[in-house]
Amino acid sequence: MAGKSVGSGISSLLQGSCKFCKQRAIWFKRYPQTWLRGLQTSAARNEQLFDKILIANRGEIACRVMKTCKRLGIKTVAIYSEADANALHVKTADESFCVGPPPTNQSYLNMDAIMEALHTTGAQAVHPGYGFLSENGKFVAMLEKAGITFIGPNAAAIQAMGDKIQSKLIGKKAGVNIIPGFEGVVKNDEDAVRIANEIGYPVMIKASAGGGGKGMRIAWNDEETKEGFRLSSQEARSSFGDDRLLVEKFIDNPRHIEIQVLGDKYGNAVYVNERECSIQRRNQKVIEESPSPFVDPDTRKAMGEQAVALAKEVGYDSAGTVECLVDSQKNFYFLEMNTRLQVEHPITEMVAGVDLVEHMIRVAANHPLNITQADIPINGWAVECRVYAEDPYKNFGLPSIGRLYKYIEPTHLPNVRCDSGIIEGSEISIYYDSMISKLVTHSPTRNEALDLMNKALDSYVIRGVTYNVSLLRDVLNHPKFRLGTITTKFLPEEYPSGFKGHQLTEEERDELLATTAYFFVQRARKAMAFKNQSKLNAVSKKPSAWDLVITLQKADYPVVIRAREDGNFEVSIDGKQVDFNTSSGLSDPVFGAKINGNDVLLQTLKKEGNLFAIQHYGTTYKLRVHTKDQYEYMKYMPEKQEEDMSPFLKSPMPGTVVSVAVNVGDTVHEGQELAVVEAMKMQNSLHAGLSGTIKKVNFKAGDKVGEGDIMVEIEHHPDH
């Protein structure tokens, strides 16, 4: 293997292979105190690494790995599906190779095509990122046979830890605290029910070979166990090609806290602090932070030492994560070990000042770890929000697809890092995970990191898809989250009826109303000036008052706005004075104003006539503005009646129909499962909204459906 000298510094990364790399590398420049120090010093000069690495992944993680490779002077190869031909990771790499059609099993999971890419490009090593083939022992064996280095743990460790049944046995041998459960493979749904009753409800049904929240269901009774077994096995087969399931005791109301570990091929291992990952929906993490607000030094040490013991027991030689459930008394139990780089690794990097990808590369090149446990600090606080293209109002997030016609990351803010694999014009497709980016903030304290995240989310411009910033921002400012009193049940407990959007305080409502009035008046002034109708006092440059009524959430608010000589405005809402000052323009993607002394950031998503859609505190609000005279006339207009849509079963998201359980003429009852739709390897069961007879079935298993497509129509009978 030809060697590559390390230590060429940050300049190679900043130069990049294209203009997109320069945009993506801005955050490196802004973080010299911790992040860059780790990057510049973790590898010694003249260490022999690799000339060329193929990244067997896509999106943000492929771009993330390429950043470190470029800094180390290592050339990179991207693989891509036909759907990703113009993706950022392809543009960022030095070389690229198409591995097949869009479906993952024909492209990113196509081991033969990836092996061909390796032989064609001459790459000496493969970094798998996370997901896809990152924990596939067969793939590692293929690489070893071909003399190609896998940048990750050895095949035996992957196999041992990837099998949740075997990993529990190894953990027990290593002295790790284990969750009570059935230590074997569940044969069928009846076997699952028997085991669940032996363990005692509630139980967790999950894929033995899985991860990432896929193939997991909680069951509280026999019926839920049967349904959970069926859905989990289908998801496991689709996601991992392995439908084996296990059943274990579900620990109610735990925290999900994980330990980052690093090991080498010489028996050395360290833990790199913990990550708090309790904010989840459908067993998938949404917000993470490091350190945990719950973990004290003694607990951290105990968890870390058990994680290292497990790593050493299995001969672990790369970056990995030991996940634990922690109860209210700080008792912790081994959940699983992920034998790969975690999605949420950036918060560990920011707090500890290490580049985990670089350590993985060094270890894969047979170098020992060059850090000890004493070298690993906790420097400040880091928070990560996973920004997804999904609708948070539907089950806390169902996937959305579309093209990003405007996209601006908030990396102009100091101490903000945004790991993404997209740019303006990129498409979020049905074939892959709907993550847009991982937004990370780092500050001296937790509250400062959370406040900075608020500002970053408010400054993040995303147009073309539905996204989950509203949920993220609401959680960040929830009193319990601010206190750190969270569990994995936070979302269903704090939002029992689902997420409905941010509930405005009176002060926040006035900020929104004042800004909307300003937008309306300024647009009207410009329109009238363009038409040369300045003779109207209401739109002249002289101070003038506008008497408006703004409708927000079915309530009407009288607003008077007056332009002053100095260019600012006086606003009165229902007789109450509001101070309003701004230097932002109407066309600015992020509108900043000082309202009653508060610095406020809003985004206007829609301005059509008297209709406005404005994002405020993450949530988009629809407002209608009338002059007072118009409002009086509107009182005589008939109200629009909304159509009853309960007879129609609509697909809540774009995806593929897995099954349809009914035919025309069947009698169904309210709540009965009628169909299952899969998107991004996540299956969603759809149920009847009323009782009646099936009138129409418009789709069959295997069909593609769009969001809102009517799948089944039910004829309601009053006597049902």
Residues annotated catalytic, as ranges: 336
E-only strand ranges, 294-389 = 319-326, 332-338, 381-388
Distances in Å between the Cα of 208 and the Cα atoms of 195, 233, 279, 537, 616 are 15, 10, 23, 73, 43
Alpha-carbon span 123 to 118, nearest angstrom: 5
> Which helix (DSSP H) or strand (DSSP E) does residue 100 occupy?
strand 95-100
Please calculate the CA angle 281-282-286 and round it to the nearest 5 degrees.
Answer: 30
Strand order across the 245-249 sheet: 216-219, 203-207, 245-249
Please calculate the CA angle 210-469-80 and round it to the nearest 5 degrees.
Answer: 50
Tokens of 664: 């025309």
Distances in Å between the Cα of 665 and the Cα atoms of 305, 670, 711, 716 are 62, 16, 15, 12
In the block, which residue shows the tokens 């569990």? 487
The DSSP letter of residue 457 is H
35: exposed, middle or buried (C-beta count within 10 Å: 0-12, 13-18, 19+)?
A: buried
What is the 3-state secondary structure of 200-258?
Answer: CCCEEEEECCCCCCCCEEEECCHHHHHHHHHHHHHHHHHHHCCCCEEEEECCCCCEEEE
Tokens of 316: 């672990």
Alpha-carbon span 488 to 492, nearest angstrom: 9
User: In this structure, are residues 118 and 110 in contact, taking their beta carbons and an 8 Å threshold?
Assistant: no
Tokens of 660: 């349809």
> What number of residues does the chain have?
720
Tokens of 122: 């001459």
Which residue in 6, 78, 77 sits closest to 39, CA to CA? 6
- What Rg, from alpha-carbon coordinates, does the chain have? 27
User: In this structure, are residues 715 and 691 in contact, taking their beta carbons and an 8 Å threshold?
Assistant: no
The DSSP letter of residue 541 is S
Alpha-carbon span 440 to 450, nearest angstrom: 10
Contacts for 406 with CB less than 8 Å, ≥ 6 apart:
424, 461, 462, 463, 464, 589
**H helix intervals, 365-495:** 446-458, 469-476, 479-483, 490-494
Alpha-carbon span 447 to 453, nearest angstrom: 10
Tokens of 706: 């769009």
> Which helix (DSSP H) or strand (DSSP E) does residue 360 occupy?
helix 356-364
User: In this structure, are residues 114 and 79 in contact, taking their beta carbons and an 8 Å threshold?
Assistant: yes
Q: Is the dihedral of CA 86, 90, 92, 97 positive or negative?
A: negative
